[in-house]
Structure 1
Amino acid sequence: MEASQLPSEVWVHVFGFLSTADKLNIRSCCTYFQTLVDHWSLWKGNTVFLKRLCASTAQFWTTLRRRKIKSVVVQRANLKEWKHLVLSLPNITTIAVEACFDVKAYDILKQFQHLKSLSIRRCRYGQELADCIGHLQKVTHLSVCEMHSARRTEVINAISKLSHLTSLFYHEGTCPIPRQTLHVMLNRLPHLKHLSLKMGTQLGSLPDDYFNLSKTKSGSQGDRQDGQTGLTSLELLDYMDPTLSEVALMCLPSLQSLLVDYRSRDVLSSRSHLKTWLRVLPKLNHLNIAKGHPLGAYASYIPDTVTSLALRQVMMQPEDLKALGKRVPGLLQLHFDPCSYNCGSSIGEIPRSFPLLRTFKMRHYGVSDREFSNLKQLKYLERLEILDAKEPSVHLMEQIQNLQVLTNYRIQIVYSLNPREPIACYCTYC
C-alpha cells in the first residue's frame, strides 16, 4: 500500500510520537512525507538554533515559516544577520541571544512585535542593550546571564520599565543587587512572580529588609502602593550564609517555590539560616536545595506543605532521611542526589518514608539489586529517572526489566535524561 492511500491526518498523528531526529529522517524519505512532517502541529514548542544566518537558503526560511517556529537561539549574529532574521521570521515570540558582540544588533529586537520571552547570555554590554530592553513592553519573561558589566544600574533601570514582566532571571555580576536598587525594581514590576538572583560574593550581611518593600518610599508612577511583592517563586544562586539574614524571607509569606544553590558544601550547620526561613513559608510546596548545610540542619523544619523536593549534592545521614519522611510523608516528587555515594543504601528507606511518590529521581551507583527492586513498594510511582545512566550497563538494564515486571510495567523508567531547555539560563538547574 502506498503512503498516500492513508489519510494525511493519520500520518501526522503517527509522526507526533517521533523524536525530532526521527522526524528529520522520515522527512528525507520522499516529498510526500516531507510535506507532512513539516506540519506546524508537529513542531509546537520546538526551538531552532540559528548559526551563520546569512548562509541559510530561502528554502530553509520557508520551512521554518511553514512549521510556525516561534522560538529561536541566535548565536554570534551580526547586525546584517539580525536584519535578515526579522524579515524572515517576524512573528517570533521567544529569543535567546548568545555571544552577541555587535551592540548595534540589540536595536533590532524592538522590531519583533510579538516578543514575549527574551534571554541574553554571554553577550557584550552597551547602552544599546539598556535602551533596547526598556522598549520591549510585551516581554513577560526575561533572563540576563553572565554579562559582567559596569552598566548594571542602567540595565536594571531598563528592566524596571517592563511592567508586564512575570519572570526575571538576573544572573549578572559578582555581588548582589544593592537593596535600594532592588526595591526600586520590585516596586515597578507589579506582576513579577518568579525571581532568580545570583548572589555572588558579599562582605557581611545584607539588610534584614532586603526583600521587604514596606519601608521603601514610593510615589513614582507605576510603583506598588501596598509595599509587598507578589513573588511566589524565588531562586538564590551562588549563595552562602549569612549573606541574607534569618528574617530576610519573613516578608514573603506567599512564596510557593524556593531554590537555594549554595556556593559549596563547606558550611557550618550552626550558621544555617535556611531552617529559620522555612518556618515562615506556610505556602511552600516546591523546595530545591543544592550543596550547603547537611540535611540534618534543616530537615525537621521543612513545612509539611512541601510536595516537591530536590536534594542535590547535599550531605546526609540515614537518620536524616527518616526525619524528613516524618515531616513530609505526602511528598509527590523527589530528586535524591546526595553528595556521597555511600548514601546509596538510603534508597531502601525511600518507599517507607515517602509512600505517595509519583516521580523519583535517583542515582543508581551503589544501589543493590534488592534496594532497586524494592522500589516496587512505591504503589503510586509513575516515573523513575536514573541520573547516572546515560549509557546503561547490562546489569542496570536487567534491574530495570525486573522492576518493570514486578510493577506490571506501570512505571515510566527514564535513563536518558532530557536535554537542557535551549532557552534556559546556563546557571539554572534542570
Structure 2
Amino acid sequence: MAPHLVRTAALPSELWVHVFGYLSTTDKCNIRSCCRYFKAIVDHWSLWKGHTVVVRKHCAYTGNFWKILCRRKIKSVVLRRASLKEWKQLAISVPWLTTIKVEHCNDVKCFEILKQFHNLKRLSISGFRQGLTDTIGSLQQVTNFSVCETQLVPRTEIINAVSKLSHLTSLFYHEGNHPIPRQTFHIMLKSLPHLKYLSLKMGTHTGSLPDDYFNISKTINGPQEGQQVGQAGLTRLELLDYMDPTLSEEALKFLPSLQCLSVDYRDRDVQPTKCHLKTWLKGLPQLAVFNIANGHPISSYADSIPANVTSLTLRHVTMERKDLATVGKQIPGLLHLHYDPRSRNGSSIGEISRHFPQLRTLRIRHYNVPEREFSSLQHLKCLDRLEILDACVPTAHLMELTNKLQVLTRYRTQIVHSQNPREPTACYCTHC
C-alpha cells in the first residue's frame, strides 16, 4: 500500500465524514475518485442528507448508479421526463423516498408506481398533459402537494384529486389563468382540515372576488370555542401573479392566524388601483414574515406593517430614503432583511444599520454602492450573514470591499458572494 494511503486509512473514518461534510457536491465527487477508501466514505448516507437526485429521460443509468442511490439513502428525487423503466428501478432501489417531483410525465402507468413509496410525504407534479388518476388521491400519507402547469386537464379533476389528500399541511396550487371560484375553493378546503401553508397563482380577474373568499372556518371545522367567526387555520399564505383588486380589502380579515404573507405582483409598474396591502396588514396581528415582490411603492403600506415582523423581503419595490425610515420605525426589531429595491443607486444602504440595528441576516446588491455606505454595515453588531445577490463571480473591487468589511467587523460576519442554489424540488413559480 502506498505511504499516503496508509496515513489516510490510519485516521478514523468518522473524522473524514465530518471533514467531507463541509464540501460541495462537486468536491465530494472529486474526492470520491481518489481511492477506494475515500469512495466508501463519501458514499456514507450522512453526507447526503437533504440531497436531491435528478433522473432524466434517455440517460444511461447503470446498475451501479442505483446501488449508489441505495447506499446514500437518497430520499429526494426529481423525475424529469423519466421513462417507466426508470420509475420501476427507482421503486426497487430507494423505496423509502420521502420527496418526489414529477416533471413532464404523460404515462399514467408511472403514477401507479407512486403507491410503492409508502414514506412519500412531498409530491410535486408539473407539465402533466393527461388527467390526474385516482392514484394521486390514494396517497393519503402525502402532506405537501404541488401542482403546476398541467395542460388540457379539467380544473374539476385537479380539485377532486387534491381534495382526496386529506392530510395535506401544504398546498401549492399554481394552475390556470384565473382564481379558483369561491364555491369550488371552499369545497376543496373542506377536505383539507390540516392545511397550514397555501400558495395560490391568482392570474387575471375582472373585479374583486367575494369578501368572504377566505372565510372557510365553518366549512372546515365549524366554530371552535373561543374562536373568532371566520378564523381559518392557515399560518402561511402566498399569492403569485397577483394584482389588485382581485381580492377585496376585507379578504384577509378572516385569516388573523397568518404568520407569513408573501405577495408576488404580476407587474412592476405602479398601478392606479388602490393598494389593498394597507388594509390587509392591519388585520394580521401575528404576522412575523412579510415578503413583497413588485407592485405598489412601499410608501402605500409601510406604516401598516405589524410591529412583530422579524423577516422582511422587498424585491423590485419602489422605495425612497424616507420609506426606509418609516419601515424602521414600524419594525425596529427586524432580524432578517432581503433588500432589493427597484432603484439600484445604493443611496439607502448606509441607512440600514441605523434603522435595523438588530439584523442577523442581510441580502443586498453591491452594484453602485459607495464604499463608505458599504462599510457602514460594520455597525450591524448582530449581523451573522451578509449575502451579495449580484456577485456569483465577485470582481476584484467587490473582493476588496468585502475584505475591508471583514477586517472592520473582526470577521464576525459570514459574507457570501453568490446566491444559494435553487432547491430542485421547488416550484418554478415561486419567487418571494
Structure 2 equivalent of residue 134 of structure 1: 137
Matches within 5 A, 1:18-417: 18-52=23-57, 55-126=60-131, 129-213=132-216, 216=219, 223-226=220-223, 228-268=231-271, 271-342=274-345, 344-417=346-419
- Asked if 2 retains the 8 angstrom alpha-carbon contact of 1:102 and 1:124, the reply is no
- Tell me by how many angstroms 1:214 deviates: 5.0
| 1:237 to 1:43, Cα distance in 2 relative to 1, 3 A | same
- What one-letter code is carried by the residue in structure 2 that aligns with 1:416? S
- What one-letter code is carried by the residue in structure 2 that aligns with 1:158? A
CA RMSD of aligned residues (A): 1.4
Q: Which runs of 5+ in 2 are unaligned?
A: 224-229
- Tell me by how many angstroms 1:309 deviates: 0.3
Aligned pair count?
Answer: 421
Superposed CA offset, 1:57-85 (max 9, x none): 11111111000001001110122332222
- Tell me by how many angstroms 1:150 deviates: 4.0
Superposed CA offset, 1:332-378 (max 9, x none): 00000011213x11101101110100001001111000000010011
Tell me, what secondary structure is at the counterpart of 1:345?
Answer: coil
Find the aligned partners of 1:101 and 1:118 in 2 and give their Cα distance: 16
- Asked if 1 retains the 8 angstrom alpha-carbon contact of 2:217 and 2:231, the reply is yes
- Tell me by how many angstroms 1:194 deviates: 0.3
Superposed CA offset, 1:277-317 (max 9, x none): 00000000000000000010000110101010000000111
| TM value normalised by structure 1 | 0.95
Find the aligned partners of 1:318 and 1:228 in 2 and give their Cα distance: 37
- Asked if 1 retains the 8 angstrom alpha-carbon contact of 2:45 and 2:72, the reply is yes
- Tell me by how many angstroms 1:424 deviates: 0.2
Tell me, what secondary structure is at the counterpart of 2:338?
Answer: strand
- Asked if 1 retains the 8 angstrom alpha-carbon contact of 2:245 and 2:273, the reply is no
Find the aligned partners of 1:81 and 1:53 in 2 and give their Cα distance: 10
- What one-letter code is carried by the residue in structure 2 that aligns with 1:59? N
- Tell me by how many angstroms 1:228 deviates: 4.1
- Asked if 1 retains the 8 angstrom alpha-carbon contact of 2:57 and 2:83, the reply is no
- Asked if 2 retains the 8 angstrom alpha-carbon contact of 1:15 and 1:23, the reply is yes
Structure 1 equivalent of residue 19 of structure 2: 14
- What one-letter code is carried by the residue in structure 1 that aligns with 2:378? K
- Asked if 2 retains the 8 angstrom alpha-carbon contact of 1:269 and 1:293, the reply is no
Find the aligned partners of 1:381 and 1:393 in 2 and give their Cα distance: 23
Find the aligned partners of 1:413 and 1:125 in 2 and give their Cα distance: 46
Find the aligned partners of 2:218 and 2:72 in 1 and give their Cα distance: 51
| 1:326 to 1:224, Cα distance in 2 relative to 1, 3 A | same
Find the aligned partners of 2:84 and 2:231 in 1 and give their Cα distance: 41
Find the aligned partners of 1:25 and 1:35 in 2 and give their Cα distance: 13
- What one-letter code is carried by the residue in structure 1 that aligns with 2:393? E
- What one-letter code is carried by the residue in structure 2 that aligns with 1:108? I
Superposed CA offset, 1:117-173 (max 9, x none): 0011122231xx241211110000111111133411111122112121101111011
- Tell me by how many angstroms 1:215 deviates: 6.3
Find the aligned partners of 1:24 and 1:370 in 2 and give their Cα distance: 42
Find the aligned partners of 1:170 and 1:348 in 2 and give their Cα distance: 40
- What one-letter code is carried by the residue in structure 1 that aligns with 2:44? H
| 1:403 to 1:269, Cα distance in 2 relative to 1, 3 A | farther
| 1:214 to 1:167, Cα distance in 2 relative to 1, 3 A | closer
Find the aligned partners of 2:281 and 2:389 in 1 and give their Cα distance: 28
Percentage of pairs with the same residue: 66
| TM value normalised by structure 2 | 0.95
Structure 2 equivalent of residue 5 of structure 1: 10
Deviation beyond 6 Å, 4+ runs, structure 1: none
Q: Which runs of 5+ in 1 are unaligned?
A: 217-222
Find the aligned partners of 1:145 and 1:369 in 2 and give their Cα distance: 44
- What one-letter code is carried by the residue in structure 2 that aligns with 1:139? V
Find the aligned partners of 1:86 and 1:157 in 2 and give their Cα distance: 26
- What one-letter code is carried by the residue in structure 2 that aligns with 1:408? R
- Tell me by how many angstroms 1:269 deviates: 6.3
- Asked if 2 retains the 8 angstrom alpha-carbon contact of 1:54 and 1:84, the reply is no
